[in-house]
Structure 1
Amino acid sequence: MFPVINRESVLSGFQWFFFIFCNTVVVPPTLLSAFHLPADNLLMLTQYAFLTTALACLVQAFCGHRRAIMEGPTGLWWGAILTITLGEASRGTPLNDIASSLSVGIAISAMVTIFIGISGLGHRLARLFTPAVMVFFMLLLGAQLTSIFFKGMLGLPFGIADTSARIKLAPFGLAVAVMCFILAMIIFLQQRISRYALLVGTVVGWGLWRLCFPSSHLPPGELSWRWFPLGSHGTLM
């Protein structure tokens, strides 16, 4: 049975689309900065991220759980990859070795997850994750993601600390202004309007950014598709 389509469902669905969009679009630039990849790879990585996220959404909508669970790059893996990369790079570990180790770890985690799903051990392992454990885990995850977002607002690189990096006050001021605007909508407006605060804030923030910080840089005209966009055989692109 298909859901009823009305104005509220359309706006809610559009806002949910923006949630997934914002959750996906921020990942490729951080990986590009963390692993010092060429700037030309940004467009390709972003398109790969959007395509895989779209496929995941279609699969869960037609064949999966059909619940309001955000699809796309997970914040847990995102934070773990950036934290491990920054920590190991500060110790002098080559980025190629870090990337290879992360690839092996992610592949092993995928196989373990598939085994847990097939064997039915999920409900037994869930007993270990008590409310106290989940609160502590979410606190650490929130702190890690907050630091990542805050560095992005300040215009600081995500990779190895760069002594030449400087705080960009103008983008930071715009980000704080948009955040205050969203909070004001949630606090002072009626619920039927405030429920779309994040959608309005995203559109307004994007428009102000394009108005205040116009970019003259254009992406490359040609796009090369590869099975392994980040590299292969232990070597980053």
Structure 2
Amino acid sequence: MKLIFSSLQWALFILMSSVVIPVAIASDYGLHSFDTIEFVQRSLFVLGLAGLLQTFLGHHLPIQEGPAGLWWGVFSLYAGLGAILFGSHIETLRVLQYAFLLSGVIFILLSVFGLVEKIAKLFTPAVTGIYLILMVIQLSGSFVQGMFGLEGPDDMIHTNVLLLSFIIIITSYGFRKIPKIGHYTVLFSISFGWVLFYIFGLSQQVTKVDTFINLPKIFAFGLPRLEPSIIIMVIFITLLLLANMLATVRVVQQVLKRHEVACETNRWKQTGIVSGVNQLLAGFFSAIGAVPVSGSAGFIATTKITSKLPFIIGSFIIIFISLFPPFTAFVAAIPKAVGYAAIFPIFASIIGLALQEFEAAENKRILFHVAGISLFAGIGTMFIPSDAFSDMPPTLASILSNGLVFGAIVAVVTETILMKRGKEFKEKNTSSL
């Protein structure tokens, strides 16, 4: 029973942090209801398979593979520009299939030639902690808007949704203190929240589908369309995805070590190669590219589920759900506010993980400088309207429009410069003596 509950909890956590993005992308590209369900199906299939591949062949850790926020940004960017550049939304989606395939090849090449290990050295405790803080701040907007019942930028706050979301959060923290069910907080919170929303008439209707089973299609939007103009952008996106992968794997390793769970720390090459394969899968199945989700660290720390088996079974459940449209439509009907409120404590706990990373930093003076500069720059960038980047080259826009990415880059560069100067200063004083 413990294994079943743990596996279901992993499956629900993966669903809650994976369904929203494919639905939003389908809406941006004007896909019809059944096409949207198919896109969600293919995305879930790729995400479930990606998690299994990493667990068995990559980093060997229980880390969820979720829709990459960077790729979501690219989808959103080209939802407006694509029709002008490529002729239509479908043509744009064909180009993005090519982008995933190209990113997969680049990932694999970087891994084979040993560049992943070199880049991994840049992710010190200071950089990892800053990355986690920026990630939580960036996600907090979506969480709060969802729990306030905001479906659009001009929508009004729904007081009833806000009140019920608050009740779910309080209940979720209450579940954690109950000895025997505390480890299944997500499972009970989502179940309780969904029933609560149904009682108050706030649950969504399940989309009716006529097909019982539907295998994922290859190149559902047509054959990939090669566009040399996006190569530079894809290279930068791949490097940023690589940075996200490294930060996530590192923080999950730290969480497992605190729970006295042994884990391998020298599998960067294998992890990079599998990440490349996962991007290739997204291109083949016309889905969205997967990336290790840092929220997995918060999930493990909150639920104390450190074993890989529940995650493996949970990933198989996701794949199973993806093959049956009625199941996909059913889970896609879970109210967004319920999902956000149920996993709110998990992502809130990531701030604590970031502070623990800061404690491991050797030079606190440099840490304070790096954190101040990068957090100031990254958070400030988050307040710039996305429309302000419309006239910039796509590659530059994808970096500057993402506060998480921009802040992480600033952190790496700033720490490298300060560490180098500190080393030179120390050597100079030593030689003068």
Structure 1-normalised TM-score?
Answer: 0.71
1:119 alignment counterpart: 113
1:175 alignment counterpart: 165
- 1:1-237 aligned within 5 A: 7-73=1-67, 77-78=68-69, 80-83=70-73, 93=81, 97=85, 106-157=100-151, 161=153, 163=154, 165-186=155-176, 189-211=177-199, 212-216=201-205, 218-222=207-211, 226-229=217-220
User: What one-letter code is carried by the residue in structure 1 that aligns with 2:50?
Assistant: A
2:417 alignment counterpart: none
Query: Aligned-pair distance for 1:210?
Result: 3.2
User: What one-letter code is carried by the residue in structure 2 that aligns with 1:26?
Assistant: V
> Does the 8 Å contact 1:25/1:46 carry over to 2?
yes
> Does the 8 Å contact 1:15/1:199 carry over to 2?
yes
Q: 1:197 to 1:208 in 2, by over 3 A?
A: same
> Does the 8 Å contact 2:42/2:216 carry over to 1?
no
1:3 alignment counterpart: none
Q: For 2:60 and 2:208, how far apart are their aligned partners in 1?
A: 36
Q: 1:14 to 1:112 in 2, by over 3 A?
A: same
Give per-residue Cα distances to partners, 1:27-66, cap 9 Å, x unaligned.
Answer: 2222233444333322111211222223224434544444
Q: For 2:16 and 2:113, how far apart are their aligned partners in 1?
A: 35
Give per-residue Cα distances to partners, 1:192-211, cap 9 Å, x unaligned.
Answer: 43222122101111222333
Give per-residue Cα distances to partners, 1:109-128, cap 9 Å, x unaligned.
Answer: 33322112212222211111
Q: 1:15 to 1:71 in 2, by over 3 A?
A: same
Give per-residue Cα distances to partners, 1:160-200, cap 9 Å, x unaligned.
Answer: x5x4x3333333332222112102223xx244432221221
> Does the 8 Å contact 1:33/1:157 carry over to 2?
no
Q: 1:104 to 1:150 in 2, by over 3 A?
A: farther
Q: For 2:192 and 2:2, how far apart are their aligned partners in 1?
A: 20
Give the structure with higher Rg (CA).
2
Q: For 1:232 and 1:157, how far apart are their aligned partners in 2?
A: 34
Q: Secondary structure at the match of 1:40?
A: helix
Give the unaligned 5+ runs of structure 1. Answer: 1-6
Q: Aligned pairs, how many? A: 217
CA RMSD of aligned residues (A): 3.4
Query: Aligned-pair distance for 1:69?
Result: 1.1
> Does the 8 Å contact 1:24/1:72 carry over to 2?
yes
Structure 2-normalised TM-score?
Answer: 0.42
Q: For 1:156 and 1:137, how far apart are their aligned partners in 2?
A: 27
Higher helix share: 2
User: What one-letter code is carried by the residue in structure 1 that aligns with 2:18?
Assistant: T
Percent identity of equivalent pairs: 25
